[in-house]
Amino acid sequence: MKVTIVDYQSGNISSVINSFTEVAKGKVNLEVTSNVNKIKSSDKIVLPGQGSFKSCVDSLNNINGLIDTLKEFAITKKKPLLGICVGLQMFADVGYEEVETEGLGWISGKVTKIDNQNGKFKLPHIGWNEIEIQKESKIFKDIKNKSHMYFVHSYEFVPDDRSVILATTDYSTKIVCSVEKENLFGTQFHPEKSDKTGLKIIENFIKL
């Protein structure tokens, strides 16, 4: 099986690479690339994302054919794809960080700034926070409800269809921190920085 981490120059993804390498333990062919032909031949894709919504979308657009290749992989062929942090946010139709920016449009919804209630809640939301699992999922297999995950973000994904929500976290409001729609999975938190629990989510995704 071939799992590809898409490296589209969106910031430092070394911790994502290290954690997937640790879980794969040589049993899985793990590739880090933005080569569209290599992505097409993958069984699963990981789409990380660091920085702003706009900068990540721009970086995807800067690589010829990448967005079309990802769409064919995830939407047409319905192969498993995991978006992490901004990688999840880009599933949305639109994001409002910096300027209004069109997303990938895979899961209807928008990405807006967390309501910090006039400074009552610090932004970015950084550190460990408890997640509340909303429904069963293969990527949360053997993950206890109210597990703690590691977050770094100021913006949240607000899906139109609430049924895609896998988990929420309390920070000012109930923030969507994981989604699942058919073959699409996303986490707002960083599983690669969330200790053994995060590694278990990575393992669950690889085993899908």
Residues tagged active-site: 85, 190, 192
CA atoms within 13 A on the CB side of 98: 10
Q: Please give the radius of gyration of the chain, using alpha carbons only, rounded to the nearest integer.
A: 16
- What are the structure tokens assigned to 155, written together? 């913006």
Residue whose token pair is 């690889």: 206
End-to-end CA distance of the chain: 11
Name the pairing type of β-strands 101-102 and 81-84: unpaired
What 8-state DSSP symbol labels residue 191? G
Peptide bond connecting 159 to the previous residue in cis, omega within 30 degrees of 0: no
